Chain A
């Protein structure tokens, strides 16, 4: 066995597998994106490059009412979700971080439950809840927003708590030591230090909301509460045009951009690895 492998050499075999996998997973997405720019009605044969399915006069994302409404409804839900889940999640994270004693451990694990619960279970449960218990709210935009907030909240809590743990109690103690009352300890010290985590968690919440299908679908009422993912699902088997690819592309870009944004903001202040784990948390 004198010709043992060179231990300093590149692991070619592993590189091959990795490269192969990346190709396998990315090619379909790239194909779908490519056909969003097809200058024809086909989603399988290339007929030249154009933006007609994005901005064209008829049937485009911009001018087809169904597509446009789906996109605006998706964004509306995402904005509500971020606006509610972020402050609520920050407050919860702070509370859970401080709360030491009986029950805190249980609550901490329960916070993670929405992250591991199969979405379909969550969707059915929420549907029953809105039909049986909160009949007053009913299905539709409100229910969809509440449903999305229910699980995006967990992401916010997990991200902000992670940051709280790495910040530690010392900065607040220093502020107190220098004469700052509780209010100022929070606003002058803790909040600025948490800012990157809060921005990152808002971006993740935004992306999660836009990508969600199951819960949003269950809690929808009529056509006006259709989101992009619901639209893609329902018309994929109908008479699809490249406009669907176009709206999917728009959706994907928004999600990607918000996650890249979260990664960049977080990396500036915390470690690269921590940032990567946050940006990939949702994907």
Chain B
């Protein structure tokens, strides 16, 4: 199967700024692969290097085994959907889609057929004679997609293509894009800073930070089994507690947090010393104050945010840290027990607690913050 991208030791420096700092990623053929990270993490630069708009400072970009790092963009068999779509404003929709076919040896009939098929694929045949600036954002997005797909690229690159659209349209297009990718079987490399988008659409997600890949795995894995503090923090709401790991016993790591010791069964359970312990809000149990005991931390509700199907409860635990817990709005917990000022006990089950050691860059950042 075609469409495999491998990045090896890929580096990009702009003067003194290191945008991409030696990354290795494997993007298997036919997968929906997402580069996720905050702005400035190097995800777009990585995509632009794959497209050929930026020349790597060092490293290799292997497309189906051959290094294309020095091949100019117009000779690469990859196509891009730009963030702003970049539809040519002086051409109509059909001519936009036909633009790249000029460089494929095709008869006039064949070309017209391909354009029609591509427009059909994105449901835009009725708009073939419209100018690009007479289309809505969502329609432009579809045309941009058709313009790239009509060339039958081995890999399609998408640079935050949903960023400019409103929330409802985004949701619909997420589903459509994913379905389209599955139908065509083309490798999609998708760049976004939106973690929910990444989780819903991707087969695999690479979480990037400061020019490096923090973790590349399935959406479920990066969400539930983050390797680093950064990944845990970036994906969804998570609670991070600082503590000291004092040793493992029976597969569970004892972590001292304040004057309490919690047992954690996930992550780096054999760690020693300063660690972070992570737990997702939906895994924290909010119980009456009387329940204190093992696996539990007493605290006081600071605030409850009503979210409709659930409450997000902010609890200040003994020792001063603030934890967020998600309580389902199913009547199991009395509303008065969640009022601010109420004393509660948080249940932190060992199976939901994950021990994270700090990665090198984070430790540095932390130390710099302290001095």
Residues of chain A contacted by B53 (CB below 8 angstroms): 173, 176-177
Give how many B residues have a beta carbon under 8 Å from the other chain's beta carbons.
Answer: 23
**Chain B residue contacts of A179, Cβ below 8 A:** 74-75, 100, 102-104, 151
Closest to A171 in B: B86
Residues A178-237 near B (CB distance < 8 A): 178-181, 184-185, 188-189, 192-193
Provide the bound-state CA to CA distance between A156 and B147, in Å. Answer: 34
A-B contact pairs, 13 of them (CB 8 A): A170-B84, A173-B82, A174-B88, A177-B53, A177-B73, A177-B79, A178-B147, A179-B75, A180-B99, A180-B103, A181-B74, A185-B74, A193-B88
- A175 interface hit (Cβ, 8 Å): yes
Secondary structure dominating the interface of A: helix
B75: A residues at CB distance < 8 A: 179
The residues in B between 85 and 102 inclusive whose CB is less than 8 angstroms from any CB of A are 86, 88-90, 99-100, 102
A173-B53, A173-B73 are known contacts. Are A178 and B86 too (CB-CB below 8 A)? no
Chain A residues with CB under 8 Å of B72's CB are: 176
Task: Indicate whether B219 reaches chain A with its CB closer than 8 angstroms.
Answer: no
- Output the nearest chain B residue to A193 by Cβ-Cβ distance: B90
Q: Is the Cβ of A173 less than 8 Å from the Cβ of B86?
A: yes
- Establish whether residues B90 and A192, one from each chain, have CB atoms under 8 Å apart when the complex forms: yes
Residues on B lying within 8 angstroms of A by beta carbon are: 51-53, 72-75, 79-80, 82, 84, 86, 88-90, 99-100, 102-104, 147-148, 151
Q: Across the interface, which residues of B come within 8 angstroms of A184, CB to CB? A: 102
> Which residues of chain B are within 8 angstroms of A185 by Cβ–Cβ distance?
74
Q: Which residue of B lies closest to A167 (CB)?
A: B89
Q: Are A177 and B90 in contact (CB under 8 A)?
A: no
Known: A178-B151, A180-B74, A192-B90. 17 other contacts (CB 8 A): A173-B53, A173-B80, A173-B86, A174-B80, A174-B86, A176-B52, A176-B72, A177-B53, A177-B80, A178-B79, A178-B99, A179-B102, A179-B103, A179-B151, A180-B102, A181-B74, A184-B102
State A174–B100 Cα separation when bound (angstroms): 10
Q: Which residues of A contact B147 (CB under 8 A)?
A: 178
Report the nearest B residue to A269, measured CB to CB: B89
Interface core residue of A175, A177, A188, A192 (most chain B CB under 10 Å): A177
- What residues of A have a CB within 8 angstroms of the CB of B102 in the complex? 179-180, 184
Contacts A173-B73, A174-B86, A176-B73 given; indicate if A188 touches B52 (C-beta within 8 A).
no
Q: Would you give the shortest CB distance from A70 to chain B, in whole angstroms?
A: 41
CB distance from B321 to the nearest CB of A (A): 46
Minimum distance in angstroms from A92 CB to a CB of chain B: 23
Check A171 against B88 for contact (C-beta < 8 Å). Answer: yes
Query: A176 and B88: CB pair below 8 A?
Result: no
Alpha-carbon separation in the docked complex, A41 to B161 (Å): 72
User: Complex: how many Å from CA A91 to CA B80?
Assistant: 29
- Return B164 CB to nearest CB of chain A, in Å: 13
Which residues of chain B come closer than 8 Å to A174, judged between CB atoms?
80, 82, 86, 88
B89 touches A193 (CB 8 A): yes
> Which 9 pairs, one residue from A and one from B, show the smallest C-beta to C-beta distance?
A178-B100, A179-B103, A174-B86, A176-B73, A170-B86, A192-B90, A177-B80, A176-B74, A179-B100
Looking at B75, B80, B99, B148, the one whose CB has the most chain A CB atoms below 10 A away is: B99
Give complex CA distance A178, B72 in Å. 12
- A178 to chain B: closest residue by CB: B100
Alpha-carbon distance between A102 and B107 when the two chains are bound, in angstroms: 48
Residue of B whose beta carbon sits closest to that of A177? B80
Identify which of residues 235-264 in chain A touch chain B, using a CB-to-CB cut-off of 8 Å: none
Which B residues touch A189, using CB under 8 A? 88
**Chain B residues with CB under 8 A of A193:** 88-90
Q: How far is B51's CA from A219's CA once the two chains are assembled, in angstroms?
A: 54
Interface digits, A145-188 against B, CB 8 Å rule (1 contact, 0 not)?
00000000000000000000000001101111111110011001
